[in-house]
Structure 1
Amino acid sequence: MGVDPPRREAAEAAGPTVPGAAAGEDVPTGPADGAAHPAPETVSGAAAPAAAGGGGKRPGGRAGRNLPAAIAVGVALGAVTLAALYVVKVLFLLEVVVAVGIGIVELARAFAAKGIQVQVAPILGGMVLMVVGTYWGGPVFLLGSFALTLMVTLAWRMLAPPGSAKGVVAATAGYVRDASASAFVCAYPALIAGFVPLLLAEDDGPHRVVVFIAVTICSDIGGYTAGVLFGKHKMSPIISPKKTWEGFAGSALSCVVCGALLVRFLLDGEFWQGALLGAVVVIFATLGDLIESVIKRDLGIKDMGTLLPGHGGAMDRLDSLLFTLVPVWLLLYLFG
């Protein structure tokens, strides 16, 4: 069917579109208020491609995934992670640095699509300092290195304003906007990732990391399975249309069972402690997924990237892990 001229003109005025996260619909990526955002030329001095990493619709079933590819990537990542954890623990920190570093670049590119400049260089350097240094320096080092990273990042934007214009206007225009986004990325994911070495540094550190990752993954697997088989009642139709309460119940069941078993047999804890940990994980993992969905909807993209077939970008896999990391570390610390 053809498109009548008024509708065609309205569609063109709305700006370019990317596949929507809801059901493959196109959503406009142009400014909602009608004011044109400046086209970002750089992301901290580097070329900033558009953040429509989703490209087109991903092949898959009801949950919108290429399931065979997702399983293959998941198994490969799991094998690499276990090998790093139990052969040379410090190698796992390298894996964390690479994954979180890619996530930071993905976030910067996504913000750049809206004309927001994230200061990538100082954030990447600070993230490496937080992840690697905290393994030996502990929580105090993590806090201090985060504060230092934040201060350097704020100064970086002031001393290296975007664009070719010079003077006070160039140095101050959009500073609060860019500095706020940069501070956000300093905390999420850079600061949160610094809790990984706090888990790993314990005598049973590899076991603790396995518990953290396995229980969080069970939230995804249980929710996916229950949602596909039984999902009818939408949890949040606007934010994440594919999430259902049935899927949440599946996540909760799998997390509680997995947590109880792993804490009991890997960490010599009590079944109730593991069950409590699993219940906390499912809440925070779900929040992480929903918050990532809100960010992507606000930026008008479907995925943060295309690095992992069947999964999207690095941040699309790190979202729930980042949100469960701190609660798991705190609970295991309290359990002793």
Structure 2
Amino acid sequence: MGQAEQAPAQGPRTRGKRPRANPTPKAGRNLPAAVVVGLTMLFGVLGGLLFLPLGFVAVTTTFAVFGVWEIFRALEANGTRLPIIPVMTGTVAMPFAAYLGGIESLLFALLLSSVAVLLWRSIEGAAGSANSIFAGVFALGWVPFFISFAALPLHAGIGASPLGLWPGGTVPEGALQVAVMLLLVVANDTFGYLVGASLGKHPMAPKISPKKSWEGFAGSVGGAAVVGVLASVFVLDKPWWVGVVLAVALVAAATAGDLAESMVKRELGIKDMSSILPGHGGVMDRLDSIVFAAPVAFILFGLAAGA
């Protein structure tokens, strides 16, 4: 053999520092962009919630519409046609039904939307109808129905103003409850990211979301507990332990929502639902925690009403 056949050829040597193998943070996100976008959304939502509730419902509905549209595109790319018109109609109707009519109106809107999906798909033909109907009802329940629980606590405080301003400028307890829920979800995401990115070694669900670790989950619980205690005492005027219960329950719900969306994305073979939000991915990549946390918070606040 010749020398060239005995050993593989070596590439040219490079001087100086070796290039970094992966400049992306360990948790896989652009942190500065994620923080800016996250804080902008948080302040915008809280501003509407505390001063113009109808605006908050409109913003919530807009997020739900974008989330459902991302689901529609992801399913369509995998061969499942979502009945988009009845699903979008239900998506717009449910948050406003919850705000204006309460839990009964929300349930009626969900039922009516599901029937509309069935009838619409029946008219289009039988081919692929079963998957299409199941997907439509699933999308209605996953996004607009769950997220409408964030509008339910506002129903009791509706004022006479056509703009939806709180009467007398006083923010009702329901709006404060929703604000605390959002703060706890943000605390879950923020502290989980910071601790998980630096200390995460033991994945919670390696086959679904390899980057989500038990260390990050512990950081979420600890950080949210601090925020929950402060919010419970100074915002809700409740005992400190109420904040701890809320923090643990909402972190668990938010984590379950995150893992559920990760499972759906893995099944569909995609990394993010879209790239509309810099540093976050798609709208559903931000709503995944909230849609599970909102109904849990609504139930817990109802149980804690007498505390």
TM-score (norm 1): 0.78
Of residues 143, 150, 158 in structure 2, which corresponds to 1:189?
Answer: 143
Of residues 198, 202, 215 in structure 2, which corresponds to 1:229?
Answer: 198
Distance (whole Å) between structure 1 residues aligned to residue 24 and residue 189 of structure 2: 16
Cα offsets for 1:63-87 (capped at 9, x unmatched): 1111111111112112211221222
1:104 positional shift:
0.3
Equivalent pair of 2:257/2:291 in contact (CA under 8 Å): yes
Partner of 1:43: none
Distance (whole Å) between structure 2 residues aligned to residue 151 and residue 183 of structure 1: 9
Partner of 2:50: 86
Moved more, 182-191 or 195-204: 195-204
Of residues 234, 243, 248 in structure 2, which corresponds to 1:274?
Answer: 243
Partner of 2:60: 96
Distance (whole Å) between structure 1 residues aligned to residue 151 and residue 251 of structure 2: 22
> Can you give the 5+ residue segments of structure 2 that lack an aligned partner in the other structure?
1-21, 157-171
Distance (whole Å) between structure 2 residues aligned to residue 88 and residue 94 of structure 1: 10
Distance (whole Å) between structure 2 residues aligned to residue 210 and residue 60 of structure 1: 32
Helix, strand or coil at the partner of 2:151: helix
1:133 positional shift:
1.9
Equivalent pair of 1:222/1:247 in contact (CA under 8 Å): yes
Distance (whole Å) between structure 2 residues aligned to residue 246 and residue 268 of structure 1: 31
Cα offsets for 1:225-258 (capped at 9, x unmatched): 1111211112111111111111111011112221
Matches within 5 A, 1:112-191: 112-160=76-124, 171-191=125-145
Cα offsets for 1:24-73 (capped at 9, x unmatched): xxxxxxxxxxxxxxxxxxxxxxxxxxxxxxxxxx9731111111111111
Helix, strand or coil at the partner of 2:102: helix
Are residue 107 (structure 1) and residue 71 (structure 2) matched? yes
Equivalent pair of 1:123/1:190 in contact (CA under 8 Å): no
Partner of 1:324: 293
Q: Percent identity?
A: 39
> Can you give the 5+ residue segments of structure 1 that lack an aligned partner in the other structure?
1-57, 161-170
Equivalent pair of 1:251/1:282 in contact (CA under 8 Å): yes
Equivalent pair of 1:62/1:228 in contact (CA under 8 Å): yes
Partner of 2:283: 314
Equivalent pair of 2:101/2:155 in contact (CA under 8 Å): no
Are residue 211 (structure 1) and residue 219 (structure 2) matched? no
Equivalent pair of 2:273/2:285 in contact (CA under 8 Å): yes
TM-score (norm 2): 0.85
Helix, strand or coil at the partner of 1:70: helix
Distance of aligned partners of 1:216 and 1:112 in 2 relative to their CA distance in 1, 3 Å threshold:
same
Partner of 1:333: 302
Are residue 239 (structure 1) and residue 208 (structure 2) matched? yes
Are residue 289 (structure 1) and residue 258 (structure 2) matched? yes
Equivalent pair of 2:147/2:290 in contact (CA under 8 Å): no
Equivalent position amino acid for 1:292 in 2: E
Distance (whole Å) between structure 1 residues aligned to residue 23 and residue 153 of structure 2: 37
Following superposition, which runs of at least 4 residues in structure 1 exceed 3 angstroms of deviation? none
Matches within 5 A, 1:1-20: none
Total equivalences in the alignment: 269
Larger radius of gyration: 2
Partner of 1:69: 33
Distance (whole Å) between structure 2 residues aligned to residue 86 and residue 273 of structure 1: 22
1:199 positional shift:
2.0
Cα offsets for 1:153-212 (capped at 9, x unmatched): 11111112xxxxxxxxxx111111111111100101121122122122343222111101
Equivalent position amino acid for 1:116 in 2: T
Helix, strand or coil at the partner of 1:269: coil
Equivalent pair of 1:84/1:91 in contact (CA under 8 Å): yes
Distance of aligned partners of 1:134 and 1:59 in 2 relative to their CA distance in 1, 3 Å threshold:
farther
Partner of 1:52: none
Helix, strand or coil at the partner of 1:243: strand
Distance (whole Å) between structure 2 residues aligned to residue 190 and residue 78 of structure 1: 19
Equivalent pair of 2:61/2:144 in contact (CA under 8 Å): no
Distance (whole Å) between structure 2 residues aligned to residue 186 and residue 321 of structure 1: 15
